[in-house]
A and B are shown apart, each in its own frame.
Chain A
Amino acid sequence: MKKIIQVQNVKTIFEDKIVHDGLNLSINEGEIYGLLGPSGCGKTTLLREMVMLQNIHYGDIDILGHSLSSISVDEAQGLRKKWGVLFQAGALFSSLSIAENIALPLKEYTDLSQKMINEIVKFKINIVGLKVEDAHLYPSQISGGMKKKAGLARALAMDPKLLFLDEPTSGLDPISARDFDALILELRSLLGLSIVMVSHDLQSIYDTLDRVAIIDEKKIVYEGNLANMKESDSSFIKTFFGKYNE
């Protein structure tokens, strides 16, 4: 299998606090990969480093063949068009409607006609399970679950092959959360996505993830599939997954 992301010996230091002390992991094409760990262990920080929102202090991250520590401005710009990111609260642009939010990357990066863009927007809205009738609403007028779906539709607007999700099910009620899991699985098989996500939701972890990396005590304590995880002797794994494994 092709590796699309490789994290090599990444160290992160905030002022006088070491967050990561040499992380190594690799993500294969087509899998749903989870970054797990106790809160404050730096999962989201690692995700932010992957999408170039945060500088890496030591080490390197290799994404789709680009090394992030020595990437040029133009390469970085090209790379950004190849992925989609869903933020925890959706992070929709509050001055634009749902449809405009989804249309924005299309408008900026392509020379498609307005009619074509509308078609694409409608398709993306349908694919994430929103109603086209709601497309004219502004982010302040819709519910949290809808915001996440709209954020997902926007992340998918450019048909990326790589998707980053930051706690996709947090803040959703259990039924919407399961729906969202199903949606992610469906989109993966439908669009051939590779997905990297940070999650706390046990059910979602067991339902969706193929492989996981568990960060604890500044290091990766486990990387691999969920079935073999029991053999690890990390205290976090024991307490977090203990009940489930019994």
Chain B
Amino acid sequence: MSNSSLNISQTQNKLTLNFSGELTLFTFTAHQKTVDSSTLFNSQEVEINLENLSYLDTAGALFLDSLYENLSKKSHTVLFIASNQEITETLNLVKNKKDNTAEIKTQDEKDVISLIGKFTYKNYIGFLSFIAFLGELFATKMHYLKSIRNIRYKEIAFEINESGVKAIGIIALTSFLIGLVVAYQSAYQLKIYGANIFIVDMLGISILRELSPLITAIVIAGRSGSAFTAQIGAMKITEELDAMRTMGFSPYRFLVLPRIIALMITMPILIFISDISAIIGGMLVANLDLKITTELFIDRFNEVVAAKHFFIGILKGPFFAFLIATIGIYRGLMVKNDTQSIGFNTTKSVVESIFAVIVCDAIFSIMFTNLGI
């Protein structure tokens, strides 16, 4: 398809570049190489002959124009010979519209120090905005709980149904399986020592105190935390949040507080359900594998597992719920005006809330142990 050619001829003081055929963006690279490698440019006068050119596109014209400028810079006299009107028009267009004043900015150089600086600053700002969110949350809470009429019972009930009642099945099933697995693994070890009955102590304390609250929190973080982020993020993109604000409906009152309150109410109940089903799972294994009857299991449970373990587990519920709900909602409010950031923030919301729950659990663990509870 390349039917374009370049002839270079020299007469005395004059160099003639003879272009013919079509000079387009598909064809001029070869000529560029020829011209660049040419050592012939020692004559004062250069003539660019376009008489035989059948077609010139803007890329070709740009090539000719930069050739012209290069040569002019080296104090050659350059002369274009062209009579075809279309070709001269293209050349003039390129000449007039070419912008040499500004360069397209390339991405900032990736220098390690500035990357660390930017990363730190970004995280610092993110942390500050989360603190600001908590502050605003607290301020709105104070403002709206001034009167009992301000509480949105309907929304709270709706959220309790959405993130509490509908989660009972999955939480019961997960906890049941966790109880089963823990009991099965320890039964094998206990049998070696003939310490079968101690499975009750082990299951009772570990499940009530640690496993149930954690499992419940993780399931809820994945289920409700992500839902909060996605719902609120989508509302932000469609300007629904702005619309609410201009109508004087504070999103904190209508969306944020009901979700947080609902989750703080449901979490302890869900932990209780998780306790029951995990213990049932453990009891089943004890019965089948270690030949401990249900009556014996319950008797022993009554005897060795103090009620404080149960209450500690339940007490963790509202704290975990607060962390999951605030992080989920905060991430939703951080969604920018593009769809990608919904995905990004939903991921962040789940990861951050699970992390926060585990950190919180560790703090509780140390605290209660030191207090001797």
Write the residues of chain A forming the contact surface with B, with a CB cutoff of 8 angstroms: 48, 51-53, 73, 76-77, 80-81, 83, 85, 87-89, 91-94, 104-105, 108-109, 151, 164
Contact = CB atoms under 8 A, between A and B. Distances in A.
B359 to A, nearest CB: 32
Interface string B182-224: 0000000000000000000000000000000000000000000
B238 A91 contact: yes
B249 interface: yes
A77, A91, A109: most-surrounded residue (chain B CB, <10 A): A91
Given A87-B243, A105-B247, 8 more contacts: A53-B242, A80-B245, A80-B248, A83-B246, A85-B242, A91-B239, A91-B240, A164-B246
Contacts of A52: 245-246
Contacts of A94: 234-235, 238, 240
Contact of B243 (A76, A77, A91, A108): A91
A83 B243 CA distance: 12
Nearest to B238: A91
B243 A85 contact: yes
Interface class of chain A by DSSP: mixed
A163 B328 CA distance: 34
B95 interface: no
B143 interface: yes
23 contacts: A52-B245, A76-B248, A80-B245, A80-B246, A80-B248, A81-B248, A83-B246, A85-B243, A85-B247, A89-B239, A91-B239, A91-B240, A91-B242, A91-B243, A92-B243, A93-B243, A93-B244, A94-B235, A94-B240, A104-B249, A105-B247, A109-B248, A164-B246
A176 to B, nearest CB: 20
Interface in B226-253: 234-235, 238-240, 242-249
A76 B144 CA distance: 15
Contacts of B234: 94
Nearest to A77: B248
Nearest to B247: A105
A77 B144 CA distance: 13
A83 B234 CA distance: 25
A103 to B, nearest CB: 12
A45 B81 CA distance: 54
Nearest to B245: A53
A87 B242 contact: yes
Nearest to A109: B248
Interface in B136-150: 143
A51 B243 CA distance: 10
Contacts of A105: 247-248
Contact of B238 (A51, A85, A89, A104): A89
Contacts of B235: 94
Contacts of A109: 248
Contact of B239 (A80, A81, A88, A164): A88
Contacts of B242: 48, 53, 85, 87, 91
A108 B249 CA distance: 9
Nearest to B250: A77
Contacts of B240: 91-94
Contacts of A104: 247, 249
A77 B247 CA distance: 8
B194 to A, nearest CB: 60
Contacts of A87: 239, 242-243
A119 to B, nearest CB: 20
Contacts of A151: 243
A76 B235 CA distance: 23
B217 to A, nearest CB: 27
Contacts of B245: 51-53, 80
Contacts of B247: 80, 85, 104-105
